[in-house]
Amino acid sequence: MAYKTFLRRFSSSSETVTKTKLSSSFTNSCKVTTTVPQDSVHNVEEVARLDQFLQKNCKQGNITLDEARYFFRLMIHMQPKPPILSFNRLFGALAKKKFYEDVISLYKRVCSIGLLPDLFTLNILINCCCNVGRVCDGFVVFGRIVRWGFNPDAVTFNSLIKGLCLENRSLDAMRLFKKMAVFGVRPDIVSYGSIIDGVCKDGLVDRAKEVFLEMKSRGIKPNVVVCTSLIYGLCFVGNLEEAVVVCLLRWRIKKTIAEMKIYNVAPDSFTYNILIDGLCKNGRVLEAAKWFRTLEYYEFKLSIEIYSSLIDGLCENGMIECWEIFDKLPQKGLKPDVMTYTILINGFCKEGKLRKDMIVI
* Domains along the chain with CATH numbers: 25-127 (no CATH), 268-361 (1.25.40.10)
Mean pLDDT of 3-10: 53
pLDDT higher than 90, residue 234:
no
Global pTM reads: 0.67
**pLDDT over 90, % of the chain:** 35
For the stretch 266-318, pLDDT in tens is 556 666 777 777 777 777 777 777 777 777 766 666 778 878 877 787 776 66
The more confident residue out of 202 and 145 is: 145
Measured CA to CA in angstroms, residue 76 lies from 38, 70, 113, 115, 258 at distances of 11, 10, 8, 10, 55
Mean pLDDT, residues 102-131 taken together: 94
**How far apart, in Å, are the Cα atoms of 182 and each of 51, 65, 179, 333?**
40, 39, 5, 53
pLDDT at 262: 55
Once rounded to an integer, what is the mean pLDDT over residues 91-118? 94
Collapsing DSSP to helix, strand or coil, 166 comes out as: helix
Q: Are 208 and 196 in contact (CB under 8 A)?
A: yes
Highest mean pLDDT among 110-114, 205-209, 329-333: 110-114
Which residue, among 266, 258, 256, has the nearest Cα to 235 in the 3D structure? 256
Q: Is the pLDDT of residue 11 over 70?
A: no
pLDDT at 36: 43
What gap in Å lies between CA 343 and CA 345, rounded to an integer? 6
Report the pLDDT value the prediction gives residue 355, as an integer from 0 to 100: 52
Q: By the 8 A CB rule, do 226 and 251 touch?
A: no
User: How many angstroms separate the CA atoms of 279 and 276, rounded?
Assistant: 5
Any idea which of 9-18, 127-136, 269-278 has the lowest mean pLDDT?
9-18
Distance from C-alpha of 298 to C-alpha of 281, rounded to nearest angstrom:
25
What pLDDT is recorded for position 33? 37
Helix (H) / strand (E) containing 218: none
Question: Whole-angstrom Cα distance, residue 29 to residue 90?
Answer: 18
Asked if residues 87 and 55 have their Cβ atoms less than 8 Å apart, the reply is no
Mean pLDDT estimate for the chain: 76
Q: Cis peptide before 80, with omega less than 30 degrees from 0?
A: yes
In which band, very low, low, confident or very high, does the pLDDT at 22 lie, cut at 50, 70 and 90?
very low
